[in-house]
Structure 1
Amino acid sequence: MAAELTNYLHSLARRLHLEPAEEQDILLELEGHLEDKAAELESQGLDRAAAYQLAVQEMGAPDRVANGMYKVHSPIVWRDVILATLPHFLLAALFALHLWSHYFLVTLLVIGIALVTWKNWRAGNPSKWSYSWMGYSLAAPTLSWLLALITLSYGGWTLVTTGHLPFNIVLFFLLVGYVPFSMWIVFRVGRKVMRRDWLLASLTALPFPFLTSWVLFLDWQGGLWASGAEGKQSSDTSLAFIFLALAVTTAVFLKIGPRLIKIGLLTLTTAILVTISAVSLPVSLNVVAIFMMIVASVVFLLSPAVVESKRNQRHYRQAAMESTGLESAGEVVTHWFCNTT
């Protein structure tokens, strides 16, 4: 197979973001079509390299072709939409009914969400609806890591300024061990989430800004476990509304086709809901602070795109070098799609 065709198919494969089996069928069909077109052009007098180059040009840019395929093959059934929105509805109910301070109930909910996520992800080919479940599964280690880091910082500062720790030294060393461990878990799982589609990874991260701001507010008020935490429910109604809005956003995200509209949906929803969240907190925040919160949340939400872009660039360079090397050695490249993982 010509290097031109190999690079084109590699580029297309990284942009399809469909089910692996479906991607393979589509790419094999396109490969056959391009091979036939190149053979036809060769029979008309073009040399082999020029024939492949013209066949690829006539097929169109990988972005445009991938977007067209994505629109046709990405629609999701309503059953999956309902499943995807379920964890958002559960969180909305938790705040609407002021049940978040019932820690046993919250623990059961977190364990249940984690088990559903694990069951769907363990086979290595998760359904699209499970990405929202993964978001809440990752929230527990992520937020606990954040709180542990805050506690360590406070303990370290107190130790430096006063000469003693504000809590037990055993707890201090447990936190020292937990912080890198939880980071490792989140990083490892996060890589798997982003491997399929950065946009689905952004959907996974959708509730993080709101859960983070809520947990930080509680910590600022004395901590999640402090006495009187049950009374800190002034923002429960707005949080319930936010998670209902996240459920609606998730449903729309999964049903619409164009990726650009999905990106706009996530960005706009995040900006609006971060503003509502900031205004609902019983603290005084100026416009600049709210704007910075919006920017930070949107950047965080779209950061998987940067990670995937860098990963794709490395992959394209490697694929180009491999295909060029194989061609120069006179070898035939087959099953090229096996090298895309």
Structure 2
Amino acid sequence: MASELDAYLKDVRNNLRLDAASEQEIISELETHAEERILEMREAGLSDEEAAEKCLGLLGSARLVARQIYEAHSQGTWRQALLAALPHLFFAALFALKWWNIGWLPVVLGVAAATAIYGWCHGKPTWLFPWLGYSMLPVVITGLLLLYLPIGWAWVTILLYVPLVIWLLCYITIKVINSDWLYSALMLLPVPSLVGWFVAAELEDKFTGFNLKQLNEFAPWIGLSFLILALTVAMFLRIRQRHLRLVVLIVSETLTLVIIASAGSLSFPVMLALIFLILASLSGPALLDHWIRQGSRHAIT
């Protein structure tokens, strides 16, 4: 009886996709409920095997139970939705009001990093993940700037820098994936937009950095793209169903790509690169989650 119930509860837990504390609490409650039902059936005259089989049959498919529990516990509050949308709103205001060129960008990045560290050290709440994405923005910008170094220095620096960045991204992504890979995709949501606008604005040269004139022309469109990201995050946290959350992310990235392509004259190879980056930011966490779960199952068996 115990082995059948343990296997069922393990199957439910593998499909829950909630944070560790919530999963532990839910599984404990479900186990207590199942044991009480089995005890009642045994007192009614059923054998241990019959009672366990009937109880698990009444509970239903482990995947269905996990999905129902997920939908009941995964919806964020409006307060959490607002907190999660704030970094996108900050960047939307930064460009729409053209504050980015008067020193506010480092302030916003500092706030994002401090908020991400606070959330990371306080249980990784659901509003944390968009802040994590922006806290890694300096890492992304530095990597892009390395491409504009002289050829010899560029290769040396990139060979040293890229492995470090990949390790950092994988470490953070794996930590986030332990709760739900969709939150990793949510964390990476602004990356294609940031890279796209960076490329669209081009670089004037390695000393002056961004092409200021083009950024000023793009500012309203950049603000609009980040506003779309803010609405996406709010909808993501308020929606219960996982498949709808994924649809929201896909639609958001598609709209952002359309806005970037409409505002800037991107070449076909650049468009393909951005599409690949979007696909990687959405499918990469899912594949990594699959490999991690497969590895843990093989390790157990």
TM-score relative to the length of structure 2 = 0.86
Residue type of the partner of 2:106? T
3-state DSSP class of the match of 1:17?
coil
Q: What is the alpha-carbon distance in structure 2 between the residues aligned to residue 120 and residue 204 of structure 1?
A: 13
CA contact (8 A) 1:275 1:294 kept: no
Give the aligned length: 299
Q: Which residue of 1 aligns with 2:108?
A: 109
Q: Which residue of 1 aligns with 2:213?
A: 231
CA contact (8 A) 1:141 1:186 kept: no
**Cα deviations by residue, 1:195-249 (Å, 9 ceiling, x for unpaired):** 211111111111111011122334x443575367211223221111010011111
Q: Which residue of 1 aligns with 2:3?
A: 3
Match of 1:269 among 231, 243, 252: 252
Aligned-residue Cα RMSD (Å) equals 2.8
**Bigger Cα displacement from structure 2, 310-319 vs 19-28:** 310-319
Q: What is the alpha-carbon distance in structure 2 between the residues aligned to residue 66 and residue 33 of structure 1?
A: 15
**Cα deviations by residue, 1:273-311 (Å, 9 ceiling, x for unpaired):** 2122122113455xx975774464134223212221222
Q: Which residue of 1 aligns with 2:139?
A: 141
Q: What is the alpha-carbon distance in structure 2 between the residues aligned to residue 134 and residue 266 of structure 1?
A: 17
Q: Which residue of 2 aligns with 1:30?
A: 30
**Cα deviations by residue, 1:168-203 (Å, 9 ceiling, x for unpaired):** x6x875554333223322222222122211111111
Residue type of the partner of 2:211? A
Question: Are 1:260 and 2:243 an aligned pair?
Answer: yes
Residue type of the partner of 1:74? S
Question: Are 1:206 and 2:205 an aligned pair?
Answer: no
Match of 1:300 among 244, 267, 281: 281
Residue type of the partner of 2:3? A
Q: Kindly name which structure, 1 or 2, has the bigger radius of gyration based on alpha carbons.
A: 1
Q: Which residue of 2 aligns with 1:83?
A: 83
Q: What is the alpha-carbon distance in structure 2 between the residues aligned to residue 4 and residue 292 of structure 1?
A: 49
Q: Which residue of 2 aligns with 1:241?
A: 224
Distance 1:114 1:70, change over 3 A: same
Distance 1:228 1:269, change over 3 A: closer
Q: Which residue of 2 aligns with 1:222?
A: 204
Question: Are 1:188 and 2:171 an aligned pair?
Answer: yes
Distance 1:38 1:255, change over 3 A: same
Match of 1:312 among 271, 285, 293: 293
CA contact (8 A) 1:275 1:290 kept: no
TM-score relative to the length of structure 1 = 0.77
Between the two structures, name the one with larger relative contact order (CA 8 Å, sep ≥ 6).
Answer: 1
Distance 1:196 1:146, change over 3 A: farther
3-state DSSP class of the match of 2:136?
helix
Q: What is the alpha-carbon distance in structure 2 between the residues aligned to residue 318 and residue 37 of structure 1?
A: 33
Q: What is the alpha-carbon distance in structure 1 between the residues aligned to residue 110 and residue 167 of structure 2?
A: 20
- For residue 128 of structure 1, report the CA deviation from its aligned partner: 0.8
Distance 1:317 1:59, change over 3 A: farther
Distance 1:5 1:227, change over 3 A: closer
Q: Which residue of 1 aligns with 2:117?
A: 118
Residue type of the partner of 1:109? V
3-state DSSP class of the match of 2:289?
helix
3-state DSSP class of the match of 2:294?
helix
Q: What is the alpha-carbon distance in structure 2 between the residues aligned to residue 142 and residue 18 of structure 1?
A: 29
Q: Which residue of 2 aligns with 1:330?
A: none
3-state DSSP class of the match of 1:232?
helix
Structure 2 portions without partners, runs of 5+: none
3-state DSSP class of the match of 1:303?
helix
CA contact (8 A) 1:113 1:136 kept: yes
Distance 1:299 1:61, change over 3 A: farther
3-state DSSP class of the match of 1:222?
strand
**Bigger Cα displacement from structure 2, 36-45 vs 17-26:** 36-45
Q: Which residue of 1 aligns with 2:160?
A: 177
Residue type of the partner of 2:183? L
